Structure 1
Amino acid sequence: MLTMYRPGRGWMHRMPAGPKLALFAVLAVVVAALPPVWITVPIALAVPLAVYAAAGMGVGEGLRVLAGQAWALRWMIAITAAGQLIFLGLEPAAANTARVAAAVLVAGVVPLTTPVSAMLDALERGLRPLRLVGVDPARFALLWMVTLTTIPVLARHAAEVRDAQRARGLRPSLLRGTLPFLVVALRHADDLGDALAARGIR
């Protein structure tokens, strides 16, 4: 599985996966719960800036990583802003878009500073109480991690489709790119299914 993990020696890399997951889950929820008013916009923008700058990757590198993460979310941000603007107006649209983007960016620090295996172990331990209601913690944690690590894979495939179109002298477009993207996405799904089946997971 593709991992977004970036090796490092900062305090966030050394922090145990369980407490880190809990800390950033709470922080993301707090940011997402900010009121839909103008003051929320600078607060929501400041939180991920502070988190990435202090993540132990170095201030410059942390901000470069944040810029890359924000660029990857550009379509989500644009669609969220457009929908909110149409139905709610300018102030709620700006605040809601800022807090949603900030919450996603803050949560994105965890896979950047935590190996997939450590996150998987932490999730499995945290979900053990669900055994009382018949949920398999190991299977649920694996499903969550597969979902998380599949997102950057699909983003990479989309970029490869666009690059291939440019290499052929074509202007990238949603219409031209949909079919080849679906082909590579389905191929990835087949490969992932085969890999899980080979490990006895069905």
Structure 2
Amino acid sequence: MLGIDEASPVLLHVARIVEGKGHGDLVPLMRDVRRHFPDVRMLVVGTGDLEEAFRRGLAREGLDDAVRLLGRRDDVPALLAAADVLVFPSRSEGMGLVVLEAMASGLPVVAYALPAFEEFARDGDTGIFAPVGVREDLTKAVLELLGDEARRAAMGRAGRVTVAERFRWPNAAAVLAGVYEQVVAMRGSR
């Protein structure tokens, strides 16, 4: 895909390139990961007002050939399927939908441990979640997963199972029905 050698490890990051999404952490992370995996590639999906600054940071570290900025894409599911690890260094999220999408596609996640992920992601099971802002721990997690195909596969399976069990339509319908019942009960007590 995208002319990347099939033997090359592929990291994926999907987010707007704006303040708080962690793009500044991706530059040193890739620099350090590349020391251990020289053929690693990262695909970055998204655009935003910090895109040029991000490009300059990549150029300063000589990462132009290792990181591809893809802009907006309609084929994110295909990119998730082609990647080995989702790297998501965002420092705040309301829901973290891309993490959930990665899990649904069987892709292990390396991210900061945000409250938004506590509902569905489990550290060490569906991915590795580092303390917020500790970029070195993100790098260590990426290195661990790139070096352990069996662990990546196990985390991918666990992510798929989690999403299938917790976010199936019958479960979502039951939650919605419960909300409606609460609203009706509240209105009836007036």
The TM-score normalised by the length of structure 2 is: 0.31
Q: Larger strand proportion, structure 1 or 2?
A: 2
Structure with more contact order per residue of length (Cα contacts < 8 Å, sep ≥ 6): 1
Q: Which one has the largest radius of gyration?
A: 1
Q: Larger helix proportion, structure 1 or 2?
A: 1
